[in-house]
């Protein structure tokens, strides 16, 4: 009889494992997906930190047709307050040794590389004196320098833009490997997007004399923290699953210890028959795990509430942004998609954690019925 009962319980265990195998496989897939999404969220946060300086402040129009300040107004502001830079892109044609190349001519000022943190790979950027004197000085990005001059040195070489001869002063690494960009001193026009190296709140108050109506303001340092906090929130939510999985077995051991028939408990020693340490851990584990989950969720809520004050960078027209900020925008989009995918995997993990296992029952002959 004992052998038959042992065989019945072994068969019951095999049947339970066989019936719960698809559930365990789905739970492992959800947990693996959540872990991979957590790791993936660190990549956009790291790449965005290299796309632009942490103290960069951007003022960009919410609509591409919003009125923009003129160059003279921006120049006076730079002389009286602090340096600003801008981009005025326009299509053009560059001529070198009889060959013509379609390029993007970007009008800007001498503060451009310093404010945006862009390094010079050769030569130097044009100076403010060259811009005030109307000198024809041009700076190429890496793609334009390679396509126009090949492997030879581009600095000091002449090229023609709009029928005028310009002298190349250097090569700028702007991160744009798809477009030939030539930076020249801006002569006229209006500056759409503005960039400065200053604290967000102070810079926004100081820009009021420019009359930036219909503009959105972005503190890139705060947006970098936002991407890092998004990855941290994912890891904190994932860590909540560990104490959540410890609560049901601890409660089960407590119920098994205190629900024994009264005849089996003759003294307090019988109550702690499984072991005082093990029973005490079973009693203390549920409230401790619940407290850990509540503290973590409170921290997550405090972090997420700060995100409401950040304007949406993805709603801006990419034509009104600098090349590095456009790359930052792509990082934010990728981070948002990964975070939504993580939430879906996390919800699946929570559903599998809450789903009870219903083992088959033993029939009267000792085998699963």
* Residue 67 near residue 210, CB atoms below 8 Å: no
The reported pLDDT for the residue numbered 269 is: 47
323-354 and 241-258 helices, crossing angle to 10°:
10
The reported pLDDT for the residue numbered 274 is: 52
The reported pLDDT for the residue numbered 352 is: 74
CA angle 344, 347, 352 (to 5 degrees): 125
Q: Which two tokens stand for residue 362?
A: 């033993």
The reported pLDDT for the residue numbered 344 is: 92
The reported pLDDT for the residue numbered 203 is: 73
pLDDT tens by residue, the chain, 369 residues: 445 455 555 554 554 445 456 667 777 888 888 899 999 999 998 888 887 888 888 888 877 677 888 888 888 888 888 899 998 888 999 998 888 999 999 999 999 999 988 899 989 999 988 888 888 999 999 999 999 988 678 888 999 998 899 999 999 998 888 889 999 998 887 787 888 887 656 677 788 888 888 788 888 888 899 999 999 999 998 888 877 776 666 666 666 655 655 554 444 444 445 555 555 556 676 777 778 878 888 888 888 888 877 777 666 655 556 777 777 888 888 999 999 999 999 888 888 766 544 444 444 444 444
Give the residue extent of every domain in the chain: 26-53+223-257+271-354, 56-220
* Model pTM score: 0.73
Q: Which two tokens stand for residue 22?
A: 């698809």
* Residue 165 near residue 159, CB atoms below 8 Å: yes
């Amino acid at each position: 009889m004992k052998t038959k009962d042992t065989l019945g319980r072994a068969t019951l265990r095999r049947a339970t494992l066989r019936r719960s195998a698809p559930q365990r496989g789905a739970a492992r897939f959800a947990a693996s997906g959540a872990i991979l999404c957590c790791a993936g969220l660190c990549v956009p946060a790291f790449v965005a930190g290299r796309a632009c300086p942490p103290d960069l402040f951007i003022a960009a129009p919410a609509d591409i047709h919003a009125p923009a300040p003129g160059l003279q107004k921006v120049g006076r502001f730079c002389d009286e307050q602090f340096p600003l830079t801008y981009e005025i892109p326009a299509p053009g044609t560059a001529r070198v040794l009889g060959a013509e190349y379609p390029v993007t001519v970007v009008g800007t000022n001498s503060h451009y590389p310093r404010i945006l943190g862009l390094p010079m790979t050769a030569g130097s950027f044009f100076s403010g004196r060259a811009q005030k004197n109307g000198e024809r000085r041009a700076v190429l990005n890496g793609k334009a320098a390679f396509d126009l001059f090949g492997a030879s040195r581009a600095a000091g070489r002449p090229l023609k833009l709009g029928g005028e001869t310009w002298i190349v002063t250097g090569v700028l690494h702007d991160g744009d490997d798809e477009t030939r960009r030539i930076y020249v001193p801006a002569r006229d026009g209006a500056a759409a997007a503005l960039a400065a190296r200053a604290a967000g709140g102070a810079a926004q108050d100081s820009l009021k004399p420019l009359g930036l109506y219909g503009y959105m303001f972005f503190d890139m340092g705060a947006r970098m923290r936002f991407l890092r906090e998004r990855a941290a929130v994912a890891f904190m939510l994932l860590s909540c699953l560990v104490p959540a999985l410890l609560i049901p077995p601890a409660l089960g051991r407590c119920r098994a210890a205190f629900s024994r028939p009264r005849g089996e408990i003759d003294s307090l020693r019988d109550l702690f028959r499984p072991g005082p340490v093990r029973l005490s851990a079973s009693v203390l584990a549920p409230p401790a795990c619940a407290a850990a989950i509540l503290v973590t969720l409170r921290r997550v809520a405090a972090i997420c509430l700060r995100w409401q004050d950040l304007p949406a960078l993805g709603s801006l027209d990419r034509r009104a942004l600098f090349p590095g900020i456009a790359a930052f925008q792509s990082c934010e989009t990728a981070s948002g998609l990964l975070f939504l995918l993580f939430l879906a995997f996390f919800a699946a993990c929570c559903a599998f954690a809450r789903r009870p296992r219903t083992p088959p029952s033993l029939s009267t002959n000792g085998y699963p019925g």
